[in-house]
Amino acid sequence: MAKNKLNTQAEELISIQVVNSIDYSFPTGPIMGKWFQGLKEKKFYATKCPSCGRTMTPPRGCCALCVVRSEEFVEVGPKGTVENYDIAYYASPDPLTGKVRSTPYAAVFVRMDGSDCDIFTHGIKDEDIPKLKRGVRVRPVWNEVRTGCIEDMLYFEIDA
Amino acid sequence: MKRVAICAVAQHEIKGNIWYKRFQDMLLDILEDLQGETGFTFGGENGVKNVLTCSDDFFDARTISDNAVNDVVGAANYRGEQKMAQEGLNGIGYAMADILSGHDDVIYFAGHCKESLSASRNQIANMAYDPFYCRCLGMDYLNAAGLQARAYMEKTKITPEQLAQVVVRARQWASRNTYANEKTQLNLGDVMYSSVLCDPIRSLHAYPVSDGAVAMLLASEERAYEFTDNPIWITGFGNCMDDYFMGRRDLAASSALKKAAEQAYKMAGIKQPRKSVNLMEVMDCYAYQQPMWLEGLGLCDEGKGGDFINEYGPAKYNVNLSGGMLAGRPLMIGGLYGVAEAVLQLKGQANEHQAADVNCAVIQSTTGGAGQFQTVVVLER
């Protein structure tokens, strides 16, 4: 009974479409700043924990396991190994522009050479999506114009 | 009754725009400070097993904002963590309940807020309002405060000179506080003729945009002395909510604050706050709020906020010797900075702004438009 009443009312309800937009600026801080500076120079920097010695990519200023400051940088990569991946066939629209990415596209979890923990996530070249499997070797493909942001690297491609 | 202590506090210096650090970097700095002072660790038999944080999803621009700071608060490696998604002062009550229940005996509590991340904090506060009526009209905390300021000023006949005195005094005290944000000294005319933000609120009546982070270590009475020789005791806590719809509220009356204060005083056994309390930290985001909240807290008679200023009430009760919100503290953790200040005062460690003979401090904080939600904490040494 209650359900029927709700259904009748629902037909008479209206809703209001709202796009909420807030302008932000996000500082990188010195640790992420070094990472993005590195991308500009086609280099990958990790931090090394002074306590347990693990290297973290992308670099983190604090080792989450030891809860200690980690500010020593080591260079890793540029090649790495695919540890995991997903392939998206249904893309959500960008909430602000309404644009939808072309599918399929993939996110790959790459363990960079020389990095023994934490996994760097980026895209993979479209043509390589069918060849994706765990353990495959990949290398970065760089953008010609690099400004110190994640788009400095276009995607990974399979290192044949 | 068992007691819960605040063993030590760490404050990040407050600035208008800490562009050179992520909030994670700020949290790591104060964690190290607090560990250096108390020697506490995470994990093991005696380490911290449960962490409390305070942050805001909209200020941080991500949902479940605590998930992004777990490493720098020591929670990432399989420890418990809870977030206070309210003004940070409420976390004091939460941590106290956690310890009194016997669930934990030591809690690390850290809060952060960077108002500078957004182009305007008013864009964030606008999101606090409903999307049907108020958001589209541009309602935000400043506008809400404008409505409340007008109501309060008409009720009390408080003068622009008296409000200016509140701001001038805040800046004078801020100049002695290492952590305070805005220390530029002002005269009455600077405040009274500063540009109008939202009539009757002028720009120097409003707290400056602020970034900051605060941390503290709380412990049971049994364990507190492992971390400090002079623990500060949480003896009172209360909070109270008023209506979301401002049209239903009496904006000139601090109804929710009176209830929150009543609870906190009762728990602390305080019958006459004017005789017992000798330090106040109130969350005066706008100048009119300092006398208004002091009325709600029972430190001055209802509607007599102006007389209270004339009679040097703020000096008598050591109100906001830190400089308070008017000298710049971020929203969401303004109350936690108040706790940090009160703890230092009670320990006798407030250096250049130390008051004499402080033994009972009251901290008040608020969130929501025009003081919708109110929290009061009593601390004693």
Query: Residue B153 falls within a domain, yes or no?
Result: no
**pLDDT value at A1 more than 50:** no
Of B24, B32, B123, the CB nearest to A22: B123
CA gap B59, B169 in Å, rounded: 29
CB contact under 8 A, B77 and A24: no
Interface of B with A in 61-100 (CB under 8 A): 61, 70-72, 74, 76-77
CA gap B104, B94 in Å, rounded: 12
Q: Chunked in runs of 10, what are the mean pLDDT values of chain B (381 residues)?
A: 95 97 97 98 92 97 95 92 96 97 96 97 95 92 97 97 98 97 98 97 98 98 97 98 93 96 98 97 98 97 96 97 98 98 98 97 97 98 96
CB contact under 8 A, A61 and B28: yes
Query: Residue B114 falls within a domain, yes or no?
Result: yes
Q: What is the predicted pLDDT for the residue at A97?
A: 80
CA gap B20, A26 in Å, rounded: 10
Would you say the C-alpha torsion B123, B125, B126, B128 has a positive or negative sign? positive
A113-127 mean pLDDT: 89
CB contact under 8 A, A22 and B119: yes
Task: Find chain B residues with C-beta within 8 A of A26's C-beta.
Answer: 22, 61, 117
CA gap B360, B317 in Å, rounded: 11
CA gap A100, A90 in Å, rounded: 9
- If pLDDT is split at 50, 70 and 90, which confidence band does A9 have? low
Closest CA in chain A for residue B48:
A67
CB contact under 8 A, B118 and A27: no
The runs of H, that is alpha helices, within B175-254 are 188-192, 221-224
Of A18, A24, A61, the CB nearest to B118: A24
Query: Residue B56 falls within a domain, yes or no?
Result: yes
Query: Residue B25 falls within a domain, yes or no?
Result: yes
CA gap B337, B51 in Å, rounded: 18
Of B72, B123, B124, the CB nearest to A62: B72
Q: What is the predicted pLDDT for the residue at B17?
A: 96
Task: Find chain A residues with C-beta within 8 A of B77's C-beta.
Answer: 64-65, 67
Query: Residue B159 falls within a domain, yes or no?
Result: no
CB contact under 8 A, B131 and A16: yes
Question: What is the tens place of the pLDDT at every residue in B307-363?
Answer: 999 999 999 999 999 999 999 999 999 999 999 999 999 999 999 999 999 999 999
CB contact under 8 A, B71 and A64: yes
Q: What is the predicted pLDDT for the residue at B9?
A: 98
- Which one of A17, A22, A35 makes the best mutation probe of the B interface by having the most chain B beta carbons within 10 Å? A22
Q: What is the ipTM of this complex?
A: 0.88
Q: How many CB atoms lie within 10 A of CB A132?
A: 16
Closest CA in chain A for residue B71:
A64
**Mean pLDDT, chain B, whole residue set:** 97
Q: What is the predicted pLDDT for the residue at A7?
A: 60
Provide the number of CB pairs (under 8 Å) joining chain A to chain B.
68
Query: B18 and chain A: CB distance < 8 Å anywhere?
Result: yes
Question: What is the tens place of the pLDDT at every residue in A68-97?
Answer: 999 999 999 999 999 999 999 998 887 778
| Domains: count for chain B | 1
Of A24, A27, A63, the CB nearest to B20: A27
- If pLDDT is split at 50, 70 and 90, which confidence band does A3 have? low
Query: Residue B108 falls within a domain, yes or no?
Result: yes
Query: A60 and chain B: CB distance < 8 Å anywhere?
Result: yes
Helices (H) and strands (E) in chain B, counts: 14, 11
CA distance, residue A128 to nearest chain B CA (Å): 32
Of B22, B32, B74, the CB nearest to A27: B22
Q: What domains are there in chain A, each with its CATH number?
A: 27-158 (2.40.50.840)
Query: Residue B369 falls within a domain, yes or no?
Result: no
Range(s) of the domain holding residue B94: 4-119+211-224
Query: Residue B93 falls within a domain, yes or no?
Result: yes
Q: What is the predicted pLDDT for the residue at A10?
A: 61
**Mean pLDDT, chain A, whole residue set:** 90
